[in-house]
Structure 1
Amino acid sequence: MNYESSLRYKIDTPLESTTSESFCRSCKSLVKTKMWLVTTFLLMSISRTHAEYPALQAVLSQKGLQKVSHWMTDWLQNELSTIRLPEFRGSVDIYVGTVYYNLHDMTVVRCDLPEPSVAFSEGTGVSLQVSGLSIAIAGLWNTDFGIIHDGGSFEMAIFGISLNTMLEFQNTDEHLSISTVMCSADVGDIELDFHGGASFIFQPFVKSFSGKIKNMIQGRICPEFTKGIEALDTDLAAAEAIKVDPYVYLNVSLTDSPVVFDNGFELNVKGEFYSVSSPSEPPFFPNQFELPWQADYMLSVGVSEFCVNSAAFAYQKSGLFQITITNDMIPKASPIHLNTSQFGILIPQLPKMYPNMEMEILLYASDTPLVSFNQTLINFNLPTAAKFSALKTRDDLTPLFSLDMLFSFNAKVNIDQQLLKGVLEMKNLTIKLGSTEIGPFDTAPIERMVKLAMSTIVLPKLNAQLQEGLPLPLLKGFSLTNSVMTIENGFFVVATDINSLFLQSDKL
């Protein structure tokens, strides 16, 4: 799901709403974008699962919260320097009559935005304080005074804007809910300078209505801020699942209320994958685990066996764990090719019944591949089946036999230079005859051949790739740095810092 935050302003709105909304929408954009990024980090977006325990746990630390605040300050600073503000209209009484004015073609020429102060409030949520925000605006003006029409340029400066608010995190209908429980705002001062035309006539009267503008802006900051938080809460309520690809999606509803520490924020997520085409519950259940999060890293994420295995179950239900192997795919240097006559050394009766015919193998997962985590080791059990057929023509297959195979692997993995590296070892392999159209035969020679191929060809290639390293998965627009991975009993943990790819100012 892709959320974009931008500063939007309505055109031709009255003075009472336009000036305040121009600033307050900036505040709303800052907070909405900030909270959405926090949520994106934590939710790795429908049906309900039977899981009582979370399969995913994530903690954003105080360090992470400060970095998000830093990014959003940079983002808003850049954004404000490029936007064009809407025009607004008003009037001023100059004793001899009323001057009606229109301020237009306004741009932000300077924005002094101190980094907000953000902190977790234990048991509640996040406190946010902004103080000393100042904005300088330049634009053009036009006036109507009876039959006299005039125009020129102006500068407006808004000084000392401050905001003090408290946000509360809750679990509402199994989604993260955010609300404003306290808000106060203040505007220090406003200055307006008009140039050109007959501006000298009404410039002396600016102070008489600048106070009114200041009060309007100040009175609208918190209502607009609260409105922005309510809009964000609506967005979060709709984020029940993340579509990972065309085949599976991830349930990210919450199992219980968010936990706010004095130095971190924890989300417990159901974390179950489903097949898009045929969603159903897997025949296994999640186990409880406690995430050993680290405050020295921005983000800590714990992933359980249930989460990984539910993904395997979902992909299997989607029909992805299968491949057709043809003779063209066999290396030319291989001692045996997919030909019935060459298979005679393994199955003596085969070439007698079907001499010199090309063969094809349908290889697929016969049951859900299962992963388990056990103190530094990852164990894989891969039940597969192989259906062998002889090819009379490309479209005319003759079934020969099928084999039931069970592969067991151990893997040791680690994160090195932001790459996932490791070593894969085959622990065991068993092959049994499933069904046969050519009569019974001994599968031991085939088992020995497959073991030889795995040890001399397949595993060396896989381990060479693992030694070079696989890039870590990325959130769009972000990269992981200083990452460490630990394998525990029943789950693994990744503790990491995060860099923004579109906000490159990382100077905390």
Structure 2
Amino acid sequence: MVKMWLIGLFLMTLTHTNADYSALQAVLSQKGLQKVTHWLTDWLQNELSSIVLPKVSGGVNIGIGTVSYVLHDMTIKRCDLPEPSVAFSEGTGVSLEVSGLSIAISGSWNTNFGIIHDSGWFEMAVYTVTLKTLLQLGMDDERLSISAPVCSADVGGVQANFHGGGSFIFQPFVEMFSGRITNEIRAQICPAFKNGIEGLERHLAAMSVALKVDPYVYINISLTDSPLVEYNGLGLNVTGEFYSINSPSEPPFSPDSFELTWQDNYMMSLGASEFCVNSAAYAYHRAGALQIRIRDDMIPKASPFHLNTSQLGPLIPQLPKKYPDMPMELLLYTREAPMIFFNKTLISVQLLASAKAFAMKSDTVAIPLFRLDIESSFIAKAYIDKELVKGFLQMKSLTVKLGATEIGIFSITPIERALKMAMNTFVLPKVNGQLKDGIQLPFVKGFSPKNSVMTIENGFVAVAMDISGPSDSRQ
């Protein structure tokens, strides 16, 4: 049972489509495997005390007859658990060996010898427990599968002291009891371990490959091929395609292959391709999440223009004549999904958006005015500093066209000029200020990345990192 939990936790830390290639790749190195094992050892030391062991029953021939016994209500009072030895088994999975495990157990006993029935409590030490196993990792129906084809176990011995009742009568025969109990414990270790692995396999089989990210999108986390196990690490290739929850469809582009470099000096490496990022943008676009309604109170007070028909008179002369001094709102949305490209240290972004303008007669009555179609492109640099994503964003181009109008034709040139000024004066400085301060890397609660390094490659972005866990902070 204990070993099953150990392996289950290990696998959980690794954590169809048009994708011919994986859009997400993850690698756990030997260094990472050792760290995971260290965390699990600490966790098991704390958790073992809560385990209730199954009762043990049998009979021992003491020369004048057979004493039937039942040991029950057993709990672990102390556990000395050396850190297991783990290694990747190339082409197969993970070899695991626990050697020198010792457990102190207390519980109750009942005996039956003819017409004599007795009971009491006992203390037992199970020492030098050894388990050797091979965990085979594979792929079944596009998800991770696990089995334990090889398992061997041994128990160095058992020492027991019986108390209460007529225990003094049976204490001389403890060696006979201990031998039987040792054999029973030895016989139960591998079947219990394999039952646990089978339970974990059933759990993996029942897991959905569609992981909900937020109310708008989900991501397909199915495997594209079997886990790649080398002597120095474990690689998982994941579909990594995003879909709109309400309007799922394939994007009008296909994934390309990419090869994530295995970093032996880091615990974990993660890689996301352009397809992964752009499928997310496409999914959010399909879900209608990439839009915002802009009111005047959202515009900086220092801006030379505000959302008021009279204020925009210098840009659109007929606007204040037709609708004098009326508040306005803009609905800004993507016409097509944004496209993001990774080009060796640089990130390029192409954005096709539209802005619909309304004069607000009241809070609920909006008068349509015009629609502007905006084409823009940006370049960005990103890096990780002290576990914060930092960088800068620069506008490369911006053009504006009049897409539709209910107030007549007007010149777009002054609006384009004003929009460029607003981007360079207000929007980009604010964005770059946030990027300069840095954005925290998202991570599982209780764990945090350290020594992280981000690289922008041709077609994908990669992050190599070490990881700190709760036990590390306590130390």
TM over 0.5: yes
> Which residue pairs with 2:192 in the alignment?
224
- Alpha-carbon separation, structure 2, partners of 1:96 and 1:423: 87
Report the 3-state secondary structure (helix = DSSP H, G, I; strand = E; otherwise coil) of the residue aligned with 1:393. Answer: coil
Structure 1 position 154 matched with structure 2 position 130: no
Q: Cα distance, 1:147 vs. partner?
A: 7.3
- Alpha-carbon separation, structure 2, partners of 1:305 and 1:506: 39
The correspondence for 2:273, drawn from 304, 310, 328, is 304
Structure 1 position 191 matched with structure 2 position 167: no
Structure 1 position 429 matched with structure 2 position 405: no
The correspondence for 1:358, drawn from 316, 327, 333, is 327
Moved more, 86-95 or 361-370: 86-95
Whether the 8 Å contact between 2:303 and 2:422 is mirrored in structure 1 is no
Q: Cα distance, 1:107 vs. partner?
A: 2.7
> Which residue pairs with 1:121 in the alignment?
89
**In the TM superposition, what are the counterparts of 1:256-405 in structure 2 within 5 Å?**
256-405=225-374
- Alpha-carbon separation, structure 2, partners of 1:242 and 1:266: 20
> Which residue pairs with 1:458 in the alignment?
427
Moved more, 142-151 or 476-485: 142-151
> Which residue pairs with 1:33 in the alignment?
9
- Alpha-carbon separation, structure 2, partners of 1:221 and 1:94: 27
- Alpha-carbon separation, structure 2, partners of 1:109 and 1:145: 29
Q: Cα distance, 1:151 vs. partner?
A: 4.3
What per-residue deviation string (whole Å, max 9, x for no partner) do you get for residues 435-493 of structure 1?
Answer: 01111111111111111111111111111111111000102332111100000011011
- Alpha-carbon separation, structure 2, partners of 1:100 and 1:208: 12
> Which residue pairs with 1:500 in the alignment?
469
Counterpart AA for 1:36: M
Gaps of 5+ in 1: 1-24, 41-47
Q: In structure 2, do the counterparts of structure 1 residues 124 and 92 end up closer, same or farther at CA, with 3 Å as the change threshold?
A: closer
Whether the 8 Å contact between 2:260 and 2:271 is mirrored in structure 1 is yes
- Alpha-carbon separation, structure 2, partners of 1:460 and 1:476: 32
Whether the 8 Å contact between 1:71 and 1:505 is mirrored in structure 2 is no
Q: In structure 2, do the counterparts of structure 1 residues 428 and 171 end up closer, same or farther at CA, with 3 Å as the change threshold?
A: same
Gaps of 5+ in 2: none
Structure 1 position 52 matched with structure 2 position 20: yes
- Alpha-carbon separation, structure 2, partners of 1:462 and 1:478: 28
Aligned length: 474
- RMSD of aligned Cα (Å): 2.0
Structure 1 position 202 matched with structure 2 position 152: no
Give TM-score, length-normalised by structure 2.
0.95
- Alpha-carbon separation, structure 2, partners of 1:505 and 1:457: 41
> Which residue pairs with 2:444 in the alignment?
475
What per-residue deviation string (whole Å, max 9, x for no partner) do you get for residues 209-261 of structure 1?
Answer: 32222222212222222222222222223331322122211111111121111
- Alpha-carbon separation, structure 2, partners of 1:75 and 1:470: 31
> Which residue pairs with 2:212 in the alignment?
243
Structure 1 position 170 matched with structure 2 position 129: no
**In the TM superposition, what are the counterparts of 1:51-70 in structure 2 within 5 Å?**
51-70=19-38
- Alpha-carbon separation, structure 1, partners of 2:154 and 2:116: 38
Q: Cα distance, 1:144 vs. partner?
A: 5.9
Q: In structure 2, do the counterparts of structure 1 residues 143 and 121 end up closer, same or farther at CA, with 3 Å as the change threshold?
A: closer
Q: In structure 2, do the counterparts of structure 1 residues 149 and 504 end up closer, same or farther at CA, with 3 Å as the change threshold?
A: farther
Q: Cα distance, 1:344 vs. partner?
A: 1.0
Give TM-score, length-normalised by structure 1.
0.89
Report the 3-state secondary structure (helix = DSSP H, G, I; strand = E; otherwise coil) of the residue aligned with 2:472. Answer: coil
Counterpart AA for 2:4: K
Q: Cα distance, 1:279 vs. partner?
A: 1.2
